[in-house]
């Protein structure tokens, strides 16, 4: 590996664009997307259905060419050196699935052989990965008898068999129950600590992006609308919500004026005996606020502080909620639909 390849970012995409033409209509699936991922990072692409997450991964994994723009992965250009890129990455697609009739261990070894490992190395690696992913006791079972969560872990082991520097996971936990999802997340974190693998995953789960990823790249309509740590995204693009309760309406009415004066940038309203405040850094402002209100004769009788979620961030950035879903017009067409690159 040249010095450039070992010191350059693991992923560098600039103005990445991909159009599809389907039934004479052009879909701009990815529109000028910029993305940099450093070596060893765990990054989540978060966005609604049809945002362009899978299409982005498919370009970065060399499965489809960009319509325009550039991307280097592990220091190699996806267009000029697709083979070099592929040797260094693992990719677990959306709804992938290992074959059903083989035993889990054989499935892993076959995948290793397909990636050019010799049989001994493939076997050793299969044993090591099965242990890392909690599959050791299941290695002799047929894939068809594994649970959804176990199968997804096997998919991940298959993506890692050739020791890639970079692993792409497209919605690894979709369809799993909360327990299996948590278990899969633990495995992803452990793998990363053990092998130092850079991980890029896509998810619809806000809590997953929040707790698992060091960086969240929010994608909407084929472009990046925000890119930062979950904490900074929430601090910059959303507010804490503080609800203060008072003895009576009169106190609440006085308190609204007091809070609005003390925090001119906060959104303050009152409803009955409650005052609702939306403000950045509300958690830290509350003690002084309560002391001030008590000192001026309108003591609070209750207080609630809600931290923002990534959904609040998405709502503030796009005017839409990720939780609501985004209708059907953007959904990915079925495999059988005729599709050509524009």
Ligand X SMILES: Nc1ncnc2c1ncn2[C@@H]1O[C@H](COP(=O)(O)OP(=O)(O)OP(=O)(O)O)[C@@H](O)[C@H]1O
Minimal distance, residue 68 CB to ligand X, in Å: 16
The nearer residue to ligand X, 31 or 307, going by C-beta atoms, is 31
* Contact region with Mg ion (CB under 5 A), list: 93-101, 146-154, 207-215, 298-306: 93-101
Name the closest residue to Mg ion (Cβ): 54
Total of chain residues touching Mg ion, rule CB under 5 A: 3
With CB under 5 to 8 Å by kind, the binding choice for 49 among Mg ion, ligand X, none is ligand X
The nearer residue to ligand X, 170 or 278, going by C-beta atoms, is 170
Burial of 205 (0-12, 13-18, 19+ CB in 10 A): buried
* Contact region with Mg ion (CB under 5 A), list: 20-28, 51-59, 85-93, 152-160: 51-59
With CB under 5 to 8 Å by kind, the binding choice for 22 among Mg ion, ligand X, none is ligand X
Residue 54 near Mg ion by CB under 5 A: yes
The 3 state secondary structure assigned to the chain is: CCHHHHHCCCEEEEEEEEEEEECCEEEEEEEEEEEEECCCCEEEEECCCCCCHHHHHHHHCCCCCCCEEEEEECCEECCCCHHHHHHHEEEECCCCCCCCCCEHHHHHHHHHHHCCCCHHHHHHHHHHHHHHCCCHHHCCCEHHHCCHHHHHHHHHHHHHCCCCCEEEEECCCCCCCHHHHHHHHHHHHHHHHHHCCEEEEEECCHHHHHHHCCEEEEEECCEEEEEECHHHHHHHHCCEEEEEEECCHHHHHHHHHHHHHHCCCCEEEEECCEEEEEECCHHHHHHHHHHHHHHCCCCEEEEEEECCCHHHHHHHHHCCCCCCCCCCCCCCCCCCCCCEEC
The nearer residue to Mg ion, 29 or 238, going by C-beta atoms, is 29
With CB under 5 to 8 Å by kind, the binding choice for 234 among ligand X, Mg ion, none is none
Nearest to 170 by CA among 284, 44, 13, 281: 44
Residues that bind ligand X (CB under 6 A): 20, 22, 27, 29, 47, 49-55, 94, 330-333, 339
Report in angstroms the alpha-carbon separations of 310 from 46, 47, 54.
9, 11, 20
Distance of alpha carbon 178 from alpha carbon 175, whole angstroms: 9
With CB under 5 to 8 Å by kind, the binding choice for 51 among Mg ion, ligand X, none is ligand X
Minimal distance, residue 49 CB to ligand X, in Å: 3
The nearer residue to ligand X, 22 or 144, going by C-beta atoms, is 22
The nearer residue to ligand X, 138 or 212, going by C-beta atoms, is 212
The nearer residue to ligand X, 304 or 324, going by C-beta atoms, is 324
With CB under 5 to 8 Å by kind, the binding choice for 96 among ligand X, Mg ion, none is none
Distance of alpha carbon 151 from alpha carbon 183, whole angstroms: 12
* Contact region with Mg ion (CB under 5 A), list: 50-58, 65-73, 206-214, 293-301: 50-58
The values of phi and psi at residue 122, to 5°, are: -60, -40
The nearer residue to ligand X, 31 or 103, going by C-beta atoms, is 31
Residue 61 near Mg ion by CB under 5 A: no
* Contact region with Mg ion (CB under 5 A), list: 86-94, 159-167, 312-320, 333-341: 86-94
Minimal distance, residue 311 CB to ligand X, in Å: 15
The nearer residue to Mg ion, 58 or 88, going by C-beta atoms, is 58
Minimal distance, residue 202 CB to ligand X, in Å: 6
The nearer residue to ligand X, 66 or 112, going by C-beta atoms, is 66
With CB under 5 to 8 Å by kind, the binding choice for 196 among Mg ion, ligand X, none is none
Tokens of 194: 């053990």
Contact footprint for Mg ion (CB under 5 A): 53-54, 94
């Amino acid at each position: 590996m040249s010095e450039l390849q070992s010191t350059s970012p693991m992923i560098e995409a600039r103005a990445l664009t991909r159009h599809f033409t389907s039934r004479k209509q052009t879909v701009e699936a990815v529109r000028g997307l910029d993305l940099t991922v450093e070596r060893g990072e765990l990054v989540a692409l978060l966005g609604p259905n049809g945002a362009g997450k899978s299409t982005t991964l498919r370009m970065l994994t060399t499965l489809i060419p960009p319509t325009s723009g550039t991307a280097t992965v592990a220091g190699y250009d996806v267009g000029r050196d697709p083979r070099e890129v592929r040797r260094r990455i693992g990719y677990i697609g959306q709804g992938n699935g290992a074959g059903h009739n083989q035993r889990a261990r054989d499935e892993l070894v076959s995948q290793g052989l397909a990636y050019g490992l010799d049989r001994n190395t493939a076997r050793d690696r299969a044993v090591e990965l099965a242990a890392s992913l909690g599959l050791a006791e299941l290695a002799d079972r047929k894939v068809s008898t594994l649970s959804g969560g176990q199968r997804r872990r096997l998919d991940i082991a298959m993506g890692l068999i050739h020791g890639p520097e970079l692993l792409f996971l497209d919605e690894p936990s979709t369809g799993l129950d909360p327990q299996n999802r948590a278990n899969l997340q633990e495995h992803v974190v452990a793998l990363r600590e053990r092998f130092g693998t850079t991980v890029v995953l896509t998810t619809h789960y806000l809590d997953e992006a929040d707790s698992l990823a060091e960086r969240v790249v929010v994608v909407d309509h084929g472009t990046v609308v925000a890119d930062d740590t979950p904490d900074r995204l929430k601090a910059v693009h959303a507010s804490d919500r503080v609800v203060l309760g008072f003895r009576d309406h009169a106190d609440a009415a006085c308190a609204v004026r007091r809070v609005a004066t003390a925090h001119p940038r906060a959104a303050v309203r009152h409803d009955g005996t409650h005052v609702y405040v939306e403000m950045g850094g509300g958690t830290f402002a509350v003690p002084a606020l309560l002391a001030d209100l008590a000192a001026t004769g309108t003591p609070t009788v209750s207080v609630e502080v809600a931290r923002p979620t990534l959904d609040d961030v998405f709502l503030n950035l796009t005017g839409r909620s990720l939780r609501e879903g985004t209708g059907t017009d953007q959904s990915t067409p079925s495999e059988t639909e005729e599709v050509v690159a524009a």
